[in-house]
Structure 1
Amino acid sequence: MSFLPEILRSIGIIARSLDSISNIEFKDIDLTKGQYLYIVRIGENPGIILENLANIIKVDKATASRAIQKLEKNEFIERRSDETNKKIKKIFLTKKGKDAYPFIKRENNYSNEMAMKGLSDSEKELIHQLLVKVQTNVESDWDLVKGGGKRNY
């Protein structure tokens, strides 16, 4: 059991390091504090609604809403009313967002390559499979807690 905290610590260090690098590199295109992640997810899911976007990114709706407002103000995204239900606002990349998207994807691909440097193809596949299992476990707890449930320690 003592091995587990070291694994989670390593995952946290990796995530924070890559996030910090991205925030520094994306300053040149006026993106700050994880906004690049929203652009990628919106680019992958044009017309997504805020609630679904927040769920994909694993943040609360208020956090996603603030990020979307900033991205809209900086003209990376636009919200459009649904054709059948005007209350539903769908989110799309603007030209500026679409122009930023390939740069963000290239940075992500480079980061993946650097993170996997020195690993064989079978090691890369194994780490991917294991991390998907860890992600699934954590997401089930996230769903429980976000739904008002309590975890049993």
Structure 2
Amino acid sequence: MREILREIGMIARALDSISNIEFKALDLTKGQYLYLIRICENPGIIQEKLAEMIKVDRTTAARAIQKLEIQGFIEKRNDDENKKIKKLFATDKGLEIYPFLKREGDYSNKVALNGLSQEEIETIFHLLHRVRRNIDVEWDYVKKGNKREY
């Protein structure tokens, strides 16, 4: 069987490394940009949904969110109906750098897909979407404390 997940992992790690280097001047480190982008694109998202979206555990998400809040990129606001719920919003500082983060993501996407036809791009997208949905089931299963049988 082809090692497809190795290829996906190498691509993800390379792009993450590039982003971490390029965003260091913005004081964003170790994947913080992922959180900020998702918060900008989903104003009012709650921490648990954000962690699920990025596929990290709650503790990892909490640390990254706390750092972003301390740095002034995001803020937490109480929900109007349930004061226990904290919604996440980008601050003016976070919104100011979002276009740069978006351009970097668009550029990386363009570079990664260079030389592929529109049909090939659609095929890759749909196949990877199916692969991710398969993994989502496993991620959720393990996240709930279950063990997979190999």
Using structure 1 for the length normalisation, give the TM-score. Answer: 0.95
Match of 1:81 in 2: 78
* Partner residue of 1:37 out of 1, 18, 34: 34
- The within-5 A match list for 1:3-152 is 3=2, 6-152=3-149
Residue identity in the other structure for 1:62: T
Q: Distance in 1 between matches of 2:87 and 2:131?
A: 31
Give CA-to-partner distance per residue, 1:38-84, whole Å, 9 cap, x none: 01111111111111111111111111000000000000000011122
The count of residues paired between Structure 1 and Structure 2 equals 150
Q: Distance in 2 between matches of 1:121 and 1:53?
A: 30
Give CA-to-partner distance per residue, 1:91-121, whole Å, 9 cap, x none: 1000010011111000000000000001111
Q: Secondary structure at the match of 1:91?
A: strand
**Pairwise CA distance, 1:124:** 0.7
Residue identity in the other structure for 1:36: Y
Measured on the aligned residues, the alpha-carbon RMSD in Å equals: 0.8
Q: Distance in 2 between matches of 1:142 and 1:79?
A: 27
Q: Which runs of 5+ in 1 are unaligned?
A: none
Q: Which runs of 5+ in 2 are unaligned?
A: none
Moved over 4 A (4+): none
